[in-house]
Amino acid sequence: MENFHIDSFAETTFPKIKRVCKALYQKGMLAGADGNVSLKLPFEKGVLITASGVHKGFLHLDDLVATDWNGKVIYGKGRPSSELMLHLAIYKKEDTIGAIIHTHAPWATSLTLSGLPFDTTQLVEAEAILKEVVVVPYHPPGTQELARETASKLGSGPALILERHGAITFGRNLEKAFIFMECLEHNAKILAISHMLASR
């Protein structure tokens, strides 16, 4: 613990964060400065999170910020993502979570705008990987209300849909969180298309 340095951790993990952010961008789940990605720092030091206002498809090392559990910046020059409270609330609620991804996934978001449920029982892969997907009622982005409400919905599975605001997935590492996000959006697309076809 005494030999842990946040700057070294950021440099070591940056290629992995960049690769995941680029994949999310290329798959259309992030656009512009949308979304945020975080990792829990070793030894319960806090979190490493993408900075506010940065393009995730073209991420740089300087676009990462670390904060303690109270949200105080302890590494980096930028401002933490506006959804920092959301990430902190999830980590504090479930200590087995090591990484969180939040995107404005179009298909998952569209389901909430259309009032359609994400019924995992209709899809074998979704049910096996995501279990139950709960929709978090709308609260303004970046608010304590959103953070508190989202944390209260943990426990059903590794993915939540935020009403009118995208999706959030989490896992013991970044790879797991990415797999869950990709699975969520892919199956949300299938559900949305099935509703379109059924209504013709």
Query: pLDDT tens-digit profile of 67-124?
Result: 999 999 999 999 999 999 999 999 999 999 999 999 999 999 999 999 999 999 999 9
Amino acid letter at 68? D
Distance CA 47, CA 146 (A): 19
Question: pLDDT tens digits for 128-186?
Answer: 999 999 999 999 999 999 999 999 999 999 999 999 999 999 999 999 999 999 999 99
Q: Which domains does the chain have, with CATH numbers?
A: 6-198 (3.40.225.10)
What pLDDT was estimated at residue 2? 53
Active site residue 83: yes
pTM above 0.75, yes or no: yes
Query: Taken in order 32, 13, 178, 52, is the CA torsion positive or negative?
Result: negative
Burial class (CB in 10 A: 0-12, 13-18, 19+), 22: middle
Question: pLDDT tens digits for 10-38?
Answer: 999 999 999 999 999 999 999 999 999 99
Distance CA 17, CA 21 (A): 6
Distance CA 94, CA 89 (A): 9
Using pLDDT thresholds of 50, 70 and 90, give the confidence band for residue 125. very high
Instruction: Single out the catalytic residue among 83, 149, 182, 185.
Output: 83
Query: What token pair was written down for 193?
Result: 């298309």
